[in-house]
Amino acid sequence: MRVYTLAEARALLPAVQPVLAGIASLVQELRTMQAAMSVDMRGASGDGSLTANPWAEHSKDRGEELTRLLQEAVARLEQWGIELKDPDRGLIDFHHEREGEVVYLCYMLGEPDIDWWHPLETGYAGRRPV
């Protein structure tokens, strides 16, 4: 387990932010593809034929590519010792020692800086200012 100082976590943010943005984008595209495929499987036109799916021709290859890219991005965060909590919001936690106790430094994509921490057991709802 990597334990970050506040300065170390903040210094890593410029590298982490594009990874988080990429994860959010990949997750959204995968969900869009899955929703389109789901509708296609359920839908039929007036003559009984299945409705067209814009993803059908390349859906398997694109789905595999998106999944691979997502796995690589998550693995990058794991290499840094960062825990991904919510891929949609780009919510992550860094292990940090505060007053002799390991806690999380909490960051969400779009925030200007790492300004929050919380105990390991409380999660996002227990965030407190740094």
Q: What is the mean pLDDT of the chain?
A: 88
From the list 120, 112, 109, 103, the residue with the least C-alpha distance to 87 is 109
Q: Residue 91: enclosing H or E segment and its boundaries? A: strand 91-98
Give the residue, 41 or 34, on which the prediction is more confident.
34
Give the start-to-end residue ranges of the domains of the chain.
6-129
Are the CB atoms for 66 and 26 separated by under 8 Å? Answer: yes
Whether the pLDDT of residue 50 is over 70: the answer is: no
d(CA 88, CA 75): 17
pLDDT digits (tens, 9 = 90+) for 63-118: 899 999 999 999 999 999 999 999 999 999 999 999 999 999 999 999 999 999 99
Query: β-strands 91-98, 128-129: how paired?
Result: unpaired
Q: Which long-range contacts (CB under 8 A, 24 or more apart) does 66-72 make?
A: 66/26, 66/29, 66/30, 66/33, 67/30, 69/22, 69/26, 70/23, 70/26, 70/27, 70/30
Rounded to 5 degrees, φ, ψ at 122 are -95, -30
d(CA 64, CA 60): 6
- pTM of the model as a whole: 0.82
d(CA 91, CA 59): 28
d(CA 79, CA 115): 23
Report pLDDT for 22: 97
